[in-house]
Amino acid sequence: MDKRFGRSGIWLDLLHRLLDANGGKMNGKLLLAIVVVALLVIAGFVAFRVILVDMILTLKDSR
């Protein structure tokens, strides 16, 4: 496997492709959209984990 496709390599490759497609400039709207999507993904993951832990603890208490 190529070093470029490590854990953060995919994101860096995507960012470089976005910058190359836009002539090397990244406008504020695109950067803001990337940040908002990243925050939504993180919030969704945290909410999923909290719900999962709550369900597991509720099942343990019901015995």
Q: What is the pLDDT of residue 48?
A: 97
DSSP string, the chain: --GGGSTTHHHHHHHHHHHHHTTT---HHHHHHHHHHHHHHHHHHHHHHHHHHHHHHHHHHT-
Q: What is the pTM of this model?
A: 0.57
The per-residue b/e assignment along 35-61, b for 16 or more CB within 10 angstroms, e otherwise, is eeeeeeeeeeeeeeeeeeeeeeeeeee
pLDDT at 1 (0 to 100): 41
CB 16 within 8 A of CB 5: no
pLDDT in tens, the chain (63 residues): 445 555 677 878 877 777 777 666 667 777 788 889 999 999 999 999 999 999 999 988 776
